[in-house]
Structure 1
Amino acid sequence: MGHTADEQLLRSLYTEHGGPLLGFVLRLTSGDRHQAEDIVQETLLRAWRHPEIHGDRPLRPWLFTVARNLVVDAHRAQASRGGPRAPLDDAATIAGHDDLDRALESWTVAQALADLSPHHRAVLVETFYRGRSVGEAAAALGIPAGTVKSRTYYALRALRLALEERGVTP
C-alpha cells in the first residue's frame, strides 16, 4: 500500500467508525473529551496497523473492545502513578466481553431499526419491544390486523438486511 492508500484507509476508518466510537468512549470516560479523542485516535491507529482484522468479521465490535481496554489501561496507569483517578464509568471495569457484546448488539439493532421506514419500525416496536399481540398492535397503531401482519413480515426482512449490512449474520 502506498502512502495515499494508507491515508485513505485511516480516513475511511475515522469516517465510518469515529463518531460512534467517540460517543462510546465519552460515556466510559464520563465526558472527558480530550481523553476520549486520544483513545479514539489510538484505537483507529491500531486498526490501521492491523489490516488483517478487517477480514470476515465485523470491525466495530473489535474497535469498541480495543477502546474499552485502552480506557481501562489509562485509568489503571493513572491510579498506579498515585495521581487523581480519572473519571471512569463503572461499566468499563465491570463489563466483561459478554456484556460488551450484548451492548454492541443492542446498539447495532437500534441503529438498524432507525434505518427502517416509520411504518416498519412502528409495527416491530409494538409487536416485539412492547410484546403486543397483532390485535393489540393494530388497535395501538390504528390499522387493520392484516396490515400489522404484512408490515411485520416485511419489516423483519428489512431489519435482517439492515443487520447484514452492518456485518451481523443470523
Structure 2
Amino acid sequence: MMSSFVYLENNLFSQSEMSMNFTVSDKSRGIVELIKDGLTVMVNNYNKYVYIQLVLSYYGYHKANEQINSFLEGFYEVIPQAIVNILQLEDLENLLSGISKIDINDWKNNTNYTGENADANHPTIIAFWKVIESLSDLQLRKILQFCTGCRSVPIEGFKTLK
C-alpha cells in the first residue's frame, strides 16, 4: 500500500488514470467514505495528498482503534475498568506481571526444603543463599525462572508461589 501512495504522490495523472474516489473498502464495514460525499469526490492531482493522509489515518488510527477497543473490552472483563482507573501504573504492572524486584528474605522465608539435608542451616543451603544475595536483579530473575518457571514474583509474594 505504501509504495502505491509514494507512486501516487510523486507522479502526475490524468483524471481517467486515477479513477478513485474518497472511499476505502473495509471487510467489516464495506465502503467507507473518508469525507462527506466521498463516493462522488474524485481524487485528482490537487487533492491526492489529502486522500493519502485520510487513507493512512483510517487504517492507522480508526482500524487500530477498533482493535484496541476490542482488546479493552476483554481486558475490562478480567479487571473491571473502575479498578483500573484507580490504580497507579506501577500497581497495574505488578498486578499483571508480578513484582519485578525480588525480595530475597521473602524467598528464604517461604522456601520449603526437602531431602536428606533439608535444613536452612545446612552449609550447602547457606552457601546457596550467599550466592543468591550476590546476584544482580537480572540474574535473580533468571534463577527464579529456572527454579519456578516464573520471571517475577506474584503480587502477594513468595508465599503464593507454588
TM-score interval (norm. to shorter): under 0.3
- Structure with larger Rg: 2
Q: What's the TM-score, normalizing by structure 2?
A: 0.25
Considering fraction of residues, name the structure with more helix. 1
Considering fraction of residues, name the structure with more strand. 2
